[in-house]
């Protein structure tokens, strides 16, 4: 007996048995669409009868060089017989013909990727039967021309525009605006012309044998698995190429049988806001594809409630039933044929980040899912979205007042974006990728072969299409701000320009779109990050906090950063970079003086002047972080970073000397000469501090050892601040961190300097706040000798930027602009090690350091304060290494909270 290639919609149990009960595997076998059609049938939702040809059949067909595997044809014919019995109709029968659709459906939904052919089974004979049965000639000829059109373009790959052209002419000839106004005769003529197009492009007549139609369509679906656009989409979405697609053959039901018929699509909850209310579009008297294609203006689903209350009531119940069954928000397609409701598809609905969070939280409150599930359902990227830019409110007001707001469309994917107009996907990609420009891709509507441009663009704007249009779905999936269906927008692809109400914007000029509000602006509006106070988000993150084991701290240099970090949920400051405090204009002269001078008194004077500034900065941080640890890193970068550049100095000297040549008055000459002397001194000092490899030079602990007063001053500032603030009643926890340690003796030397000064200050102040002394681990040698280091360091913090740099021996700043890109493109490195921690190398060193360190000091606090601290994959590694905390930028704190919870919950799932 041959393999079972075909499953009837009521055979889902058999499919389960075959794959061993796992629903994911059922989806793999029957495709998402087929599996869910079968599942709906099983739970008693009305589904037009049909069957699914498995993905295994598709793979067998493709493997065998595009021939049906043994037994497939027989099984398909047999299943068709079953459909005939169930419906009382016969395939190809001139009196009572059965019509079917042929629908592709892979394991993962790929919007619009694969093609569907409706109305299979119509030919010059069967249309007569259909006309007799329905008494509606117009309806039948409309179906017929759709079949020829879809069959021609989808199966035989004739150009779609040729068909569209005929339609445009037909409307013009009949003097009407829309297809719905065309009558039976018009459609009859269109059908004939379509047949001619078909013949012209395929060199053969339109196939009249329904079985041939069905076979060709099925084979075309199989083949489309390796079509370019399907392959592109899979690459973008990270879907495997060997899954294959299933084919669903299903009895046609008709939403275009008059005004008691309709067709539509809906989400069981709002996909933008997450509100628990059905959201959707429908069309009266139309066939399914019309809604998705966006050629007719759709109605809001709420209107269906008034138009067909009974059918709508049933629809609402089914939506609820499906949600309960799948425990997820559903995206459904339905058709009402003469007041009878049929469900044609259901799948998990796509949603914005806001909606994802709200739905997850509300489903917990409705008792549908657990808190763990809710936390796992939201991705770190979705959390990040809450912190994405919105337009500055004042700027929006001003733009509106100025008339820069050009109009609005549908707000299908939130967030604000600006960019130059690019009118096709290739250009959008080119400008964004090759020239690094911000681009908004503008199209009448988008199609699957536009995806590469959409991914490269900052945002997407279309003039046609609805909430469930291709543009909307893709934008939401990839988190791109999008405004679609802006009907006032005219797009002239020949003149390469767009216009709204007479105002013309040329390709390459700036526009701004607000995907949250659905608005279009001319020019470039400034963006800002929104307030972080969404109540559902707060709830979800608080659940995440219950599950995670890792602490989440933040890198913050100023009290304002610390405040934001606290608000976003940080439990400490993992890194305060003291040097940032030196860069401010009023402090710079003292910093430079300190560096320039060789005289110890002068240096002390400069440092004394800097001390109060630092003390105030630290005091501010301690006050904000009342009760929480604050890690302060002593000065890290090479000194020349604080000095003017050599080339600038040379140019300025040159200028001064030229001025001197032209100068006449003696006082002027004197002044210039003095200036030149000063500059030459600075230049000499800068030259003497010049290093070939500053990153590997006189910086970090090396500098501190070289200029001990620098450490003394910083320690004094920290302890004076800590003591003062402690006396105010604040609970202070300073932790002092030495950067760039490679040998334990460096720590020893620093600790002596530090302890002495700290003791002095505490005696002066008469109070002894608790503090810790520790070091960064950012040189492989430090990681390798962490047992020795742990004798002195009470805590360690991985500086993974430098640790990656020193482990790989590559300079980040240079490499990311040169060979690293090639390495990534050629997959010599699987991932940018500066974005995601390199597990095998850097990760290995970290693991060793933690183990060795804790062997000596079991309670040692181990953290990470590099960029990686906010990267979900790296956070997973930090969890596995049992770090105490990750520290990241304040904006990444919420992402890290969720990612840390995911890591912990994954352990739970494994157990």
Which residues would be at the binding site for ligand ADP (CB under 6 A)? 48, 101, 103, 112, 116, 118, 250-253, 288-289, 292, 333, 335, 344-345
Catalytic residue among 388, 452, 470, 868: 470
| Interface residue list for Mg ion (CB under 5 A) | 333, 345, 778, 799, 802
Residue among 101 and 797 whose Cβ is closer to ligand ADP = 101
Instruction: Name residues whose C-beta falls within 8 Å of residue 271's C-beta, 6 or more positions apart in sequence.
Output: 279, 329, 331, 349, 350, 351, 352, 355, 467, 476
Instruction: Record the tokens describing residue 850, joined without a space.
Output: 């933690």
Q: Tell me the C-alpha distance between 599 and 577, whole Å.
A: 27
Residue 527 interface partner, choices Mg ion, ligand ADP, none, CB cut-off 5-8 Å depending on type: none
Contact indicator for 468, 265 with CB cutoff of 8 Å: yes
Helices 72-87 and 55-63, interaxial angle, to 10°?
150
Indicate the residue among 50 and 843 with the shorter CB distance to ligand ADP: 50
CA 873 vs CA 234, 477, 837, 896: distances in Å = 22, 20, 8, 10
Q: Provide the token pair at 670.
A: 């004197």
Q: Which does 289 bind (CB under 5 to 8 A by kind): ligand ADP, Mg ion, none?
A: ligand ADP
- Of 544, 571, 542, nearest to 556 by C-alpha is 571
Residue 252 touches which member of ligand ADP, Mg ion, none, C-beta under 5-8 Å by kind: ligand ADP
CB 285 within 8 A of CB 261: yes
Buried b (16+ CB within 10 A) or exposed e, 414-435: bbbbbbbbbbbbebbbbbbeee
Question: DSSP string covering 498-514, please?
Answer: EEETTEEEETTSEEEEE
Distance CA 205, CA 199 (A): 5
| In the complex, residue closest to ligand ADP by CB | 288
Task: CB nearer to ligand ADP: give 248 or 887.
Answer: 248
Report the nearest approach of Mg ion to the CB of residue 804 (Å): 10
Count of residues in the chain: 911
Rg, Å, the chain Cα set: 34
Task: Give the separation between CA 215 and CA 92, rounded to whole angstroms.
Answer: 14
Q: Answer with the entry of ligand ADP, Mg ion, none that 799 interacts with (C-beta below 5 to 8 A by kind).
A: Mg ion
Tokens 């190398």 sit on residue: 841
Q: Could you tell which of Mg ion, ligand ADP, none binds residue 93, using a CB distance below 5 to 8 A set by kind? A: none
Nearer to ligand ADP, 282 or 795 (CB): 282
Sign of CA dihedral 26, 27, 33, 36: positive
Q: In angstroms, what is the minimal distance from the CB of 637 to Mg ion?
A: 9
Of 52 and 714, which CB lies nearer to ligand ADP in the complex structure? 52
Residue 878 to residue 876: CA distance in whole angstroms: 5
CA distance 363 to 324: 10
CB of 347 or CB of 564, closer to ligand ADP: 347
Are the C-beta atoms of residues 98 and 84 closer than 8 Å to each other? yes
Measured from the CB atom, is 337 or 519 closer to ligand ADP?
337
Q: Closest CB to ligand ADP among 345 and 446?
A: 345
Q: Which listed option, Mg ion, ligand ADP, none, makes contact with residue 377 (CB within 5 to 8 Å by class)? A: none
Would you say 252 or 877 has its CB closer to ligand ADP? 252
Find the shortest distance in angstroms from Cβ 104 to ligand ADP. 7
- Distance separating alpha carbons of residues 279 and 271, to the nearest angstrom: 8
Gap between the Cα atoms of 581 and 579, Å rounded: 5
Cα–Cα distance measured from residue 167 to residue 190, given in angstroms and rounded to the nearest whole number: 7
**Given the structure tokens 């910093």, which residue do they identify?**
591
Q: How far apart are CA 64 and CA 851, in angstroms?
A: 54
- Work out what residue 802 binds among Mg ion, ligand ADP, none; the CB cut-off runs from 5 to 8 Å by kind: Mg ion
Q: How far is the CB of 827 from Mg ion (least distance, A)?
A: 28
Residue 206 or 582 with smaller CB distance to Mg ion: 582
CA distances from 660 to 649, 669, 673 (A): 16, 6, 8
Nearest residue (CB) to Mg ion, 345 versus 458: 345
Residue 155 interacts, among Mg ion, ligand ADP, none and using kind-specific CB cut-offs from 5 to 8 Å, with: none
Q: Which residue is nearest to Mg ion (CB)?
A: 802
Query: Is 865 labeled as catalytic in the residue annotation?
Result: yes
Q: From the candidates 865, 868, 878, 902, give the one annotated as an active-site residue.
A: 865
* Residue 574 interacts with, from ligand ADP, Mg ion, none (CB under 5-8 Å by kind): none
Residue 9 Cβ vs ligand ADP, minimum distance, rounded to whole Å: 11
Contact of residue 116 among ligand ADP, Mg ion, none (CB under 5-8 Å per partner type): ligand ADP
Q: How many other C-beta atoms lie within 10 A of the C-beta of residue 665?
A: 8
The least distance separating ligand ADP from the CB of residue 341, rounded to whole angstroms, comes to 12
At CA 307, angle to CA 305 and CA 309, rounded to 5? 45
- Which residue, among 427, 479, 466, 470, has the nearest Cα to 109 in the 3D structure? 470
Partner that binds at residue 288, options Mg ion, ligand ADP, none, CB closer than 5 to 8 Å by kind: ligand ADP
**C-beta closer to ligand ADP: residue 292 or 725:** 292
10 Å CB burial of residue 829 (0-12, 13-18, 19+) is middle
* Separation CA 353–CA 364 (nearest Å): 17
CB of 103 to ligand ADP, least distance (A): 3
Min CB(333)–ligand ADP separation in Å: 4
Minimum Å gap between C-beta 114 and ligand ADP is 7
Q: State the nearest-atom distance from the C-beta of 189 to ligand ADP, in Å.
A: 25
* Cα–chain center distance at 300: 28
Partner whose footprint covers residue 213, from Mg ion, ligand ADP, none (CB < 5 to 8 Å by kind): none
Give min distance, CB of 201 to ligand ADP, in A: 23
Here the tokens at position 334 are 């339905």
Minimum separation from the CB atom of position 340 to ligand ADP (A): 12
Nearer to ligand ADP, 48 or 349 (CB): 48
Tell me which of Mg ion, ligand ADP, none is bound by residue 272, counting a contact when its beta carbon lies within the kind-specific cut-off of 5 to 8 angstroms: none
Give the span between the Cα atoms of 279 and 237, in whole angstroms.
25
Name the minimum Å distance from CB 700 to ligand ADP: 58
Which of 10, 16, 115 minimizes the C-alpha distance to 52? Answer: 10
Angle, helix 646-662 to helix 666-689, in steps of 10 degrees: 160
Angle at 124 between CA 123 and CA 129, to 5 degrees: 85
**Residues with catalytic function:** 470, 865
């Amino acid at each position: 007996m041959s393999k079972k290639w075909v499953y009837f919609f009521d055979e889902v149990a058999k499919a389960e048995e075959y794959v061993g009960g796992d629903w994911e595997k059922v989806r793999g076998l029957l495709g998402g669409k087929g599996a869910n059609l079968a599942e709906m049938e099983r739970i008693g939702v009305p589904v037009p009868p049909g069957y699914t040809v498995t993905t295994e059949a598709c793979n067998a067909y493709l493997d065998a060089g595009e021939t049906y595997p043994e037994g497939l044809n027989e099984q398909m014919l047999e299943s068709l017989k079953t459909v005939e019995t169930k419906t009382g109709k016969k395939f190809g029968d001139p009196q009572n013909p059965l019509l079917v659709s042929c629908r592709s459906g892979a394991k993962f939904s790929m919007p619009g990727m694969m093609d569907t052919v409706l109305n299979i089974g119509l030919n010059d004979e069967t249309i007569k039967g259909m006309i007799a049965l329905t008494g509606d000639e117009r309806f039948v000829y409309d179906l017929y021309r759709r079949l020829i059109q879809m069959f021609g373009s989808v199966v035989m790959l004739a150009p779609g525009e040729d068909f569209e052209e005929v339609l445009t002419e037909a409307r013009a000839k009949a003097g009407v605006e829309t297809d719905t106004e065309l009558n039976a005769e018009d459609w009859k003529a269109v059908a004939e012309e379509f047949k001619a197009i078909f013949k012209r492009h395929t060199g053969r007549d339109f196939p009249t044998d329904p079985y041939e139609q069905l076979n060709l369509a099925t084979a075309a679906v199989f083949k489309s698995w390796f079509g370019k656009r399907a392959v592109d989409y899979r690459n973008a979405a990270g879907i495997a190429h060997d899954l294959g697609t299933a084919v669903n053959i299903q009895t046609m039901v008709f939403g275009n049988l008059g005004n008691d018929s309709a067709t539509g699509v809906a989400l069981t909850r709002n996909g933008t806001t997450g509100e628990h209310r059905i959201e959707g579009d429908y069309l009266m008297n139309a066939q399914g594809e019309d809604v998705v294609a966006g050629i007719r203006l759709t109605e809001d689903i709420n209107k269906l409630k008034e138009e067909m209350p009974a059918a709508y009531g049933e629809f609402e119940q089914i939506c609820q039933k499906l949600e309960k069954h799948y425990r997820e928000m559903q995206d459904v397609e339905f058709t009402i044929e003469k007041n009878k409701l049929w469900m044609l598809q259901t799948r998990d609905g796509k949603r914005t980040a806001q909606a994802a969070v709200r739905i997850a939280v509300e489903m917990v409150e409705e008792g549908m899912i657990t808190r763990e599930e809710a936390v796992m359902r939201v991705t770190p990227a979705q959390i990040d979205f809450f912190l994405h830019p919105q337009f500055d409110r004042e700027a929006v007001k001003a733009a509106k007042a100025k008339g820069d707001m050009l109009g609005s469309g549908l707000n299908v994917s939130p967030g604000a974006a600006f960019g130059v107009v690019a009118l096709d996907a290739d250009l959008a990609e080119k400008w964004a990728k090759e020239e690094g420009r911000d681009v908004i891709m503008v199209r009448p509507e988008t199609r699957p072969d536009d995806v590469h441009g959409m991914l490269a663009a900052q945002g997407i704007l279309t003039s046609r299409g609805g909430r469930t249009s291709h543009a909307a779905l893709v934008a939401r999936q990839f988190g791109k701000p999008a405004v679609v269906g802006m009907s006032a927008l005219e797009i002239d692809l020949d003149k390469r320009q767009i216009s709204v109400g007479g105002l013309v914007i040329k390709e390459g000029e700036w526009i701004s779109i607000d995907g949250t509000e659905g608005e279009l602006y001319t020019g470039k509006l400034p963006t800002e990050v929104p307030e972080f106070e969404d109540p559902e988000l707060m709830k979800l993150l608080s659940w995440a906090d219950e599950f995670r084991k890792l602490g989440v701290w933040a890198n913050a240099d100023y009290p304002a950063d610390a405040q934001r970090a606290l608000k976003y949920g940080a439990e400490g400051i993992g890194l305060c970079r003291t040097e940032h405090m030196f860069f401010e204009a009023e402090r710079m002269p003292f910093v430079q003086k300190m560096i320039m001078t060789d005289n110890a008194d002068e240096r002390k004077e400069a440092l004394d002047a800097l001390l109060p500034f630092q003390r105030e900065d630290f005091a501010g941080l301690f006050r904000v972080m009342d009760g929480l640890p604050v890690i302060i890193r002593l000065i890290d970068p090479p000194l020349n970073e604080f000095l003017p550049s050599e080339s600038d100095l040379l140019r300025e000297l040159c200028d001064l000397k030229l001025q001197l040549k032209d100068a006449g008055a003696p006082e002027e000459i004197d002044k210039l000469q003095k200036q030149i002397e000063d500059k030459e001194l600075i230049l000499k000092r800068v030259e003497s501090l010049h290093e070939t490899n500053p990153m590997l030079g006189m910086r970090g602990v090396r500098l501190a050892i070289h200029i001990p007063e620098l450490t003394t001053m910083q320690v004094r500032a920290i302890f004076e601040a800590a003591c003062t603030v402690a006396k105010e009643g604040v609970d202070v926890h300073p932790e002092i961190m030495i950067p760039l340690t490679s040998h334990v003796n460096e720590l020893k030397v620093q600790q002596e300097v530090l302890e002495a000064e700290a003791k002095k200050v505490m005696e002066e102040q008469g109070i002894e706040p608790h503090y810790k002394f520790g070091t960064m681990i950012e040189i492989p040698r430090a990681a390798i000798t962490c047992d020795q280091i742990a004798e002195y360091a009470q805590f360690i913090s991985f500086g993974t930027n430098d640790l990656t740099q020193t482990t790989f021996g590559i300079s980040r700043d240079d490499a990311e602009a040169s060979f690293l890109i090639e390495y990534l493109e050629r997959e010599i490195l699987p991932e940018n090690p500066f974005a995601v921690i390199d597990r095998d190398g850097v990760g290995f060193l970290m693991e060793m350091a933690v183990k060795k360190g804790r062997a000596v000091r079991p309670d040692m606090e181990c953290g990470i304060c590099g960029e990686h601290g906010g990267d979900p994959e790296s956070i997973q590694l930090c969890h596995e290494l049992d770090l105490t905390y990750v520290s990241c930028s304040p904006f990444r704190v919420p992402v890290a909270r969720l990612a840390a919870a995911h890591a912990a919950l994954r352990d739970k799932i494994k157990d």
